[in-house]
Amino acid sequence: VYLLFQALRQISQRTISTASRRQMENRVPENQKLFQEDNGLPVHLKGGAKDALLYRTTAGLTVCGTIYALYYLLVSSMPKKPN
């Protein structure tokens, strides 16, 4: 049990120490140029095809959810048929 605990402690210390050494590339200036560019696109679509797909999926799910809710509101407002 002690050896297992010691091994886990070494692994966790190694993971924490190596993660702090890695440097992340600063891509903020690139993104600022992309999003401030005047190309006629709304800001939520300037990220490319991935943003367009996410936008269309969200819009489609919103429309389907609204239709679904209105349908069940209509069904719920109808009187029940007697048995």
User: pLDDT grade, residue 21 (50/70/90)?
Assistant: low
- List the domain range (segments joined by +) for residue 61: 41-82
Q: Give the mean pLDDT of 5-24.
A: 68
The string of DSSP codes covering 16-72 is HHHHHH------HHHHHHHHH--SS--GGGTT-HHHHHHHHHHHHHHHHHHHHHHHH
Q: What is the pLDDT of residue 65?
A: 98
Count structural domains, the chain: 1
Q: What is the pLDDT of residue 53?
A: 96
Query: Does a structural domain hold residue 73?
Result: yes
In a domain, 50, yes or no: yes
For 50-64, write each residue's pLDDT tens digit: 999 999 999 999 999
